[in-house]
Amino acid sequence: MLAEAKQAFISGNYKIAEPILQQMILQGVRNPEIFQMLATVFYDKGQFNKAIKTFKRALEIDPTYTDASVGLSIILNDLGRYDEGKEVFDKAQKVLNQRKGQSDPYVEEKLASKHEELADLYFQYQRYSESLDNLLKAQKLSSRRAEISLRIAECFTKIGDIPKAIQTLQNLVREYPQFNQARLKLGLIYYNNQNLAEAVQQWENILLREPSHAEASKLLKMAQAVGITTTETYV
């Protein structure tokens, strides 16, 4: 029955999956995956209260079941209950760390992705400190450090901590010299803070590596228009 329910669930045929999942629950089957799938079905149908209760039931059976904690926190975030969503996710991560006692790259990436999702929500509502906090947690868990560091710098910029934004990007450029997005961002921060020479240097470095980089060329011309001259001309 579980295999049949999973096949229907994965294919998106919730009308077939739901009664099978309900039947297994009535039979007393204690499997967190069953409750997680059923909660997802409820969520898809807009039955949020049922979904929340069912996700919580999955976590009662197995507090380390990441899919259930992620699903529950997503619903809470959708309902505007951000602090509750964060609490659910942080609790799941704590329990997982206590039980396993060692890192699991797959699980850590899932946890990092969830922190990034929470960071997006906080950023959207201009709660930049909370967004930064989640990005810093994601950075510790994920192998995508460069991408996350770029977003951390953006949060520092929004908060008004320009020195930390610059430091984050400088470290990023040193560690990943080919990461042009970091150089573009660093140059813009310098430009917006009247440090035009440093801005030009970052954009010139991009063009030395990639002469056809359109955005760097455009930004360099913008700097030149306000009186900065360079020793080279880029087409």
- Look at residue 169 and tell me if it is in a domain: no
Q: For residue 97, what pLDDT is reported? A: 67
- Flag whether pLDDT at 151 surpasses 80: yes
- Please, are residues 34 and 5 in contact by the beta-carbon 8 Å criterion? yes
Average pLDDT of the residues in 144-159: 93
- CATH label of the domain that carries residue 6: 1.25.40.10
Helix (H, G, I), strand (E, B) or coil at 229: coil
- Flag whether pLDDT at 230 surpasses 70: no
Number of domains comprising the chain: 1
Cα within 13 Å of Cα(45), Cβ side: 15
Average pLDDT of the residues in 112-131: 89
The larger pLDDT score, comparing residue 235 to residue 223, is at 223
Q: Mean pLDDT across the chain, nearest whole number? A: 86
pLDDT per position as a tens digit, 189-223: 999 998 988 999 999 999 998 889 999 999 988 88
Structural domain boundaries, residue 56: 1-102
> Ranked by mean pLDDT, which of 100-109, 112-121, 125-134 comes out on top?
125-134
Q: For residue 29, what pLDDT is reported? A: 84
Rg, the chain, Cα only:
24
- Flag whether pLDDT at 105 surpasses 80: no
- Flag whether pLDDT at 11 surpasses 90: no
Q: For residue 93, what pLDDT is reported? A: 72
- How many degrees, rounded to 5, is the angle at CA 196 between CA 192 and CA 198? 105
- Look at residue 10 and tell me if it is in a domain: yes
Average pLDDT of the residues in 155-179: 93
- Look at residue 93 and tell me if it is in a domain: yes
pLDDT per position as a tens digit, 48-85: 999 999 999 998 888 778 788 888 888 888 888 888 88
- Residue 119, C-beta contacts closer than 8 angstroms, at least 6 positions apart: 130, 131, 132, 134, 135, 138, 151, 155
- Look at residue 200 and tell me if it is in a domain: no
Q: For residue 154, what pLDDT is reported? A: 95
